[in-house]
Amino acid sequence: MKNLKLNNGVEIPIFGFGTYEISPSQTKDAVLSAFEDGYRLIDTAQYYRNEKQVGEAVRASHIDRDEVFITTKTMTDGYEATKAGIDESLQRSGLDYFDLILIHWPMGHDLDTWHALEEAYKAGKTRAIGISNFNSRQTIDLINNSDVRPMVDQIETHLLLQQWKMHEFFEKENIVHESYSPLGSGRQNLMSNPILQEIGQKYGKSPYQVILRYLVQNDIVTIPRSTNPAHIKANIDIFDFELNQKELKKLRDLDKREPIDGWPATMREDEDY
């Protein structure tokens, strides 16, 4: 498993497991299944209501805490509520620290919210901090008005919305690009895409594995979600083949700049910077 280095030197696994819409009762088993298959990055959020079960899975796995990378996300607006919310997340999960805390989406008082994340970072409550669903203008605003530069921006990124403009912006600003909904949230008919099929056949991989490999090969941290143990296992089985330049180009040409449901509206401004 390859790691990427964040701008504070902390390493993040390039591939992980998403837990959005996994119910609390299913989360522990799904995360344990992911750990067994070699996943080490788990993505949760206050909004998902499953931080507690992610923490339980970390302890039940008996994997050393410093070998797993746990991300959570705040869903509060402003300094006081966010400061309290981070402490509640630590308590709920039973973890001593997170590896990454993200502001889940911009809400209005983002600079104040960011100051609470900075404080948690400086206090050792998290090894890294970042943002999610922030466009380039919102990101620059944080950078210009704070001490700690965001280390990650987690944004919707998949075959039909490849986010190349944002990717270039991230490279310029030394921010890691993390993809959410890499499989289009299960709402795209990836299995019947002829180009994914053709490339997959060559390597003995499914269309799902081809798109996950494509994202990872472009240095995008990728966190597919599944509650099906066979899918969980298959999704991480992408580190034994390499797409060539021609294939990378073919896949890039499939970008339609098409979000799943257009949320949040501010991300449509990704061309503004």
Contact residues toward ligand NAP (CB under 6 A) are 18-21, 43, 104-105, 132-133, 154, 180-186, 208, 223-228, 231, 234-235
- Residue 217 or 222: the one with the smaller Cβ distance to ligand NAP is 222
**Pairwise CA distance, residues 15 & 247, whole Å:** 21
CB of 37 to ligand NAP, least distance (A): 12
Catalytic residue among 20, 39, 47, 48: 48
CB of 54 to ligand NAP, least distance (A): 11
- Residue 110 or 249: the one with the smaller Cβ distance to ligand NAP is 110
CB of 239 to ligand NAP, least distance (A): 15
**Pairwise CA distance, residues 133 & 265, whole Å:** 10
Q: What is the 3-class SS of 206-240, one letter each residue?
A: CHHHHHHHHHHHCCCEECCCCCCHHHHHHHCCCCC
Q: Is 214 a catalytic residue?
A: no
- Residue 33 or 217: the one with the smaller Cβ distance to ligand NAP is 33
Rounded to 10 degrees, the C-alpha dihedral 172/114/133/182 comes to 80
CA-based angle 256:259:261, to the nearest 5? Answer: 145
Q: How many CB atoms lie within 10 A of CB 121?
A: 21
CB of 214 to ligand NAP, least distance (A): 13
Q: Which residue has the tokens 């021609």?
A: 246
- Residue 201 or 228: the one with the smaller Cβ distance to ligand NAP is 228
Q: With the C-alpha atoms ordered 121, 126, 127, 132, is the resulting torsion angle positive or negative?
A: negative
Among all residues, which ones are annotated catalytic? Answer: 48
